[in-house]
Amino acid sequence: MKKYLITSREFNTDTPAVFRSILQEQLKEHFPDFALYRDKHNPHYAVQADHFLDVCKNFQGLKAFLHQDYKLAAKLGATGVHLTSQQFDDIPHAKELGLEVIISTHTQDEVHIAEAMGADYVTYSPIFATPGKGDPKGVDDLKDINSMTDINIFALGGIISNKEVNLLEDSAIFGFASIRYFQ
The string of pLDDT tens digits covering residues 116-175 is 999 999 999 999 998 888 899 999 999 999 999 999 999 999 999 999 999 999 899 999
Say if residue 61's pLDDT is above 90.
yes
Average pLDDT value for the chain: 96
Residue 14 has pLDDT above 90, yes or no: no
Does the pLDDT of residue 111 top 90, yes or no? Answer: yes
DSSP 171: G
Structure confidence at residue 15 (pLDDT):
87
Q: How many CB atoms lie within 10 A of CB 172?
A: 12
Distance set, CA 138 to CA 125, 127, 128, 133, 164 (Å): 9, 5, 6, 13, 11
Is residue 100 within a helix (H) or strand (E), and if so which, with residue range? strand 100-105
Report the pLDDT value the prediction gives residue 40, as an integer from 0 to 100.
86
pLDDT at 36 exceeding the cut of 90: yes
| Residue 77's CATH number | 3.20.20.70
Mean pLDDT of 65-78: 98
Overall number of domains in the chain: 1
* Over residues 81-96, mean pLDDT: 98
Q: What is the pLDDT of residue 134?
A: 84
For 74, the domain range is 2-182
Q: What is the value of pTM for the model shown?
A: 0.96
